[in-house]
Structure 1
Amino acid sequence: MSSDICDEQLGIRVSILRGGSSKGLYFLEHDLPPAGALRDVILKRAMGTPDIMQIDGLGGTHLITSKIAIVGRSTREDADVDYTFAQAEIDRDVIDYSGNCGNISAGVGPFAIDAGLVRAVEPMTEVRIHNTNTGKILIASVPVRKGRAVVGGPFAIAGVPGTGAEIFMDYSDSVGAKTGKVLPTGKPTEIMNLEDGRTINVSIVDVANTCVFVQACDLGLRGDELPDDFNTNVALVKLMREIRGKAAVRLDFANDWKAVDAQTPLLPFVVFVAPPASYATYSGGRTDEKHCDLLARLIFMNRLHEAMAGTGSMCIASASRIEGSVVHGVLNAESRTRSTLRIGHPNGVMDVCVEVSPSAAPEGVRFDRLGFARTARKIMDGTVYIPMVDVRRVSSTES
């Protein structure tokens, strides 16, 4: 552990990067203590969790700005770096390591290159990333110039101002990320009984991260809802928690759906989908239905994502090619076969690559190519300070 220690505060090196449409703290693994209670306290204190304003830390008061990447040289021969993702809650004293974040993953390659963990090769450096949360290998193709990751470029992504250098993230190896199976229950669609007496069809799919899918219309929704519509609707948040909880029980992530927030805070995500439509975006723009193949809204930690999780997009794309799934059902014939799926999310449209071939597996397909393009930019290098009173408290407890 590399740090600057004084009587009152512990200083630790950190970088802030925007990865895709998320922003997070990036640490070198050797600058942190080993996984455990002390590391957890340091990461939460660095972010300012728990506090809805995260006023005493570096967090940005949204889940998409309360993310952490821990990066070091890999112990695996088939990878260049090990990368651990951590999701810090905002108003609860929780940090979760159960899944990955595709947007934050997009910053790992540039961060590793600039930190000297990976040899820079012009014009494109392939960084093999071992995500320790899922045990899967991600491959980032990062543009490089003069030994550094390129920042500027013409590529634009919805939800991020301006343009940047395109980084392609290959997620072909991420099937069965949490459970080892694309269809953890063996079914493309199954029935879920709700406490209010309704019966809905859901699809539980595990690619990149585990998601439970439901059609928006089955919940009395349109599919074009924005974060403020969802996050302030107590009844709707409660309903999505119930769906998430009951899916978690089926996955053995939890033993009581009512305790899902305590037993598995992050996974599974809930995604409600609908056929394409024109809608107003979260940033005040407008998306035309002809530019998307479906609408998708992703809920994690009981909040609606302001854009689209990269891992969520991979799971949506995978489900779109599984005949009989909820996602497959909202697509037209052309959208089911095109190699690019266009996902309409709250801040615009995300294009993802998905190419499949027939398979004897329960899902009926093999994923030959699965990925998406992002941009990333380092915003700051510096030192984050953690009050020593918190460090000593945990250290005394562990000893």
Structure 2
Amino acid sequence: MTQTAIPFLFMRGGTSRGPYMNRADLPDDLDTLAEVLIAITGSGHPLNIDGIGGGAAVTTKVAMLSASEDDWADVDYFFAQVSVEDRLVDFKPTCGNILSGVGPAAIEMGLVPAQDGQTPVNIHAVNTGARVAAIVQTPGGAVDYEGTAQIDGVPGTAAPIALQFMETVGGVTGAFLPTGNLKDTIDGIEVTCMDVAMPMVIARADSFGLTGYESAAELDDNAAFNKRMQAIRIEAGKHMGMGDVSQSVTPKFGLLAPARDGGTIATRYFMPWKCHPTMAVTGAQCLASCVLTPGSVADGMAARPNETPATITLEHASGQIDVVVDYDLGASGFAVKSAGLVRTARKLAAGSVFVPASLWRGD
């Protein structure tokens, strides 16, 4: 045997895509698992030519599912972000776009039985501890991928998948504001460091001399901005108690600007070495929470709604995304209770993916 076959589903989840696999079909040891995932995606080449990655961070993501050990959840979702070129695997963050496909994938894998009409799937995001309630369309007891829901960054329409994110505050750092401050100044740039669904460092675009409306390509090509942004991100990581984050995809970085296309606020999200072509589901929750928090860097950039739950519409590089945030704003300050979004997913392929047996023989 020269190669090991591993069963997989290949799915688009939200505005990302990648293999969805049963955790039981993969190595237990994380070092071996990382090598297997590098081989699956083809990390180490800008085109991922020797794997099924797509040459971009949104297409080198992996979802690993198992029956949940959490009493509340149906399925455990373990996420891995594989780098495109650097042969690095980060198991610390989660991904909300890939999570969009977890409900359908769990049903397809037989981990969750389908109901007639709609099937609720309670998901435990293992990496951060978040709980997410998903509603999957299953007329006749089978996953339906066709429908009229449209999300910016994906062509056409598909069946809606409703997601409700709970217990997302402090999932990585243990605190809503990991530095203890609403604002910090790092290298002369005022930032808000926040951990809601995803730890982030958030700044105003004009602090860098940017409009905040630049395309993802324009921001990626701005070497001076990227050098300064990364230095601030790395220093912020230390202040957030995350240690040396120079080789980690977290914390992510976000830019804010006044809305110009009818949304609540304009945003750009970094993954963190490239600008996201659309918006991360987890990052959207953190950015929406920043907008709603008095005293953050978002002050004065958007009209804060008075109602709860509140719909925050984030303008991003490819359109918009709505986040419905249920929150409290009392004497103890701003507190997120849950956040809801609608995403879509589609099964693209199914079968076996192969890795060299010299890496792992499947035993």
Q: Is the 8 A contact 1:354 1:371 kept in 2?
A: yes
> Which residue of structure 2 aligns with residue 359 of structure 1?
330
Return the alpha-carbon distance in structure 1 between the equivalents of residues 321 and 40 of structure 2: 31
Return the alpha-carbon distance in structure 2 between the equivalents of residues 56 and 333 of structure 1: 48
Three-state SS of the structure 1 residue aligned to 2:359 is helix
Q: What amino acid sits opposite 1:391 in the alignment? A: W
TM-score, length basis structure 2 = 0.96
Return the alpha-carbon distance in structure 2 between the equivalents of residues 214 and 140 of structure 1: 31
Q: Is the 8 A contact 1:320 1:336 kept in 2?
A: no
> Which residue of structure 2 aligns with residue 280 of structure 1?
none
Q: Which of 340, 363, 379 is the equivalent residue of 2:348?
A: 379
Q: What amino acid sits opposite 2:175 in the alignment? A: K
Return the alpha-carbon distance in structure 1 between the equivalents of residues 307 and 48 of structure 2: 42
Q: Is the 8 A contact 1:189 1:203 kept in 2?
A: yes
> By how many angstroms is 1:335 displaced?
8.6
> By how many angstroms is 1:75 displaced?
1.1
> By how many angstroms is 1:357 displaced?
2.3
Q: What amino acid sits opposite 1:209 in the alignment? A: M
1:130 correspondence with 2:118: no
Q: Which of 161, 174, 196 is the equivalent residue of 2:155?
A: 161
Quote the sequence identity (%): 35
> Which residue of structure 1 aligns with residue 270 of structure 2?
299
Q: Are residues 335 and 61 of structure 1, via their aligned partners in 2, closer, same or farther at CA, if it must alter by over 3 Å?
A: farther
Q: Which of 196, 215, 232 is the equivalent residue of 2:221?
A: 232
Q: Is the 8 A contact 1:321 1:356 kept in 2?
A: no
Please list every run of 5 or more consecutive structure 2 residues that lacks an aligned counterpart in the other structure.
none
> Which residue of structure 1 aligns with residue 63 of structure 2?
69
> Which residue of structure 2 aligns with residue 284 of structure 1?
none
> Which residue of structure 2 aligns with residue 269 of structure 1?
252
Q: Which of 325, 328, 332 is the equivalent residue of 2:296?
A: 325
Q: Is the 8 A contact 2:169 2:175 kept in 1?
A: yes
Q: Are residues 173 and 217 of structure 1, via their aligned partners in 2, closer, same or farther at CA, if it must alter by over 3 Å?
A: same
> Which residue of structure 2 aligns with residue 282 of structure 1?
none
> By how many angstroms is 1:337 displaced?
7.1
Q: Deviations over 1:106-126 (max 9, x none)?
A: 100110012111122232221
Give runs of aligned pairs for residues 125-274 of structure 1, distance below 5 A.
125-192=119-186, 194=187, 199-255=188-244, 260-262=245-247, 265-274=248-257
Q: Is the 8 A contact 2:117 2:140 kept in 1?
A: no
Q: Is the 8 A contact 1:59 1:66 kept in 2?
A: yes
Return the alpha-carbon distance in structure 2 between the equivalents of residues 338 and 390 of structure 1: 49
Return the alpha-carbon distance in structure 1 between the equivalents of residues 201 and 168 of structure 2: 17
Q: Deviations over 1:18-43 (max 9, x none)?
A: 00011111011111111422111111
Q: Is the 8 A contact 2:206 2:257 kept in 1?
A: yes
> By how many angstroms is 1:249 displaced?
0.7
Return the alpha-carbon distance in structure 1 between the equivalents of residues 47 and 172 of structure 2: 31
> Which residue of structure 1 aligns with residue 33 of structure 2?
39
> By how many angstroms is 1:336 displaced?
8.7
> Which residue of structure 2 aligns with residue 20 of structure 1?
14
Return the alpha-carbon distance in structure 1 between the equivalents of residues 167 and 141 of structure 2: 28
Return the alpha-carbon distance in structure 1 between the equivalents of residues 59 and 306 of structure 2: 32
Q: Is the 8 A contact 2:134 2:164 kept in 1?
A: yes
Q: Is the 8 A contact 2:255 2:268 kept in 1?
A: yes
Three-state SS of the structure 2 residue aligned to 1:64 is helix
Q: Deviations over 1:85-123 (max 9, x none)?
A: 100001101000111101000100110012111122232
Q: Is the 8 A contact 1:172 1:371 kept in 2?
A: no
Q: Are residues 271 and 261 of structure 1, via their aligned partners in 2, closer, same or farther at CA, if it must alter by over 3 Å?
A: same
Q: Which of 374, 383, 389 is the equivalent residue of 2:358?
A: 389
Q: Is the 8 A contact 1:328 1:336 kept in 2?
A: no
Return the alpha-carbon distance in structure 1 between the equivalents of residues 150 and 162 of structure 2: 13
Q: What amino acid sits opposite 1:163 in the alignment? A: T
Q: Deviations over 1:188-238 (max 9, x none)?
A: 11222x2xxxx1211011010101100000110110112211222222221
Q: Is the 8 A contact 2:65 2:76 kept in 1?
A: yes
Three-state SS of the structure 2 residue aligned to 1:370 is strand
Q: Are residues 334 and 318 of structure 1, via their aligned partners in 2, closer, same or farther at CA, if it must alter by over 3 Å?
A: closer
Q: Is the 8 A contact 2:18 2:60 kept in 1?
A: yes
Q: Is the 8 A contact 1:352 1:370 kept in 2?
A: yes
Q: Deviations over 1:30-59 (max 9, x none)?
A: 111114221111111000011111000000
1:98 correspondence with 2:92: yes
1:314 correspondence with 2:297: no
Q: Deviations over 1:227-264 (max 9, x none)?
A: 21122222222111111101101012124xxxx323xx
Return the alpha-carbon distance in structure 1 between the equivalents of residues 165 and 104 of structure 2: 17
Q: What amino acid sits opposite 1:387 in the alignment? A: P
Q: What amino acid sits opposite 2:327 in the alignment? A: V
> By how many angstroms is 1:333 displaced?
4.3
Q: What amino acid sits opposite 1:354 in the alignment? A: V
**Which runs of structure 1 show a deviation greater than 6 angstroms over 4 or more consecutive aligned residues?**
335-338
Three-state SS of the structure 1 residue aligned to 2:100 is helix
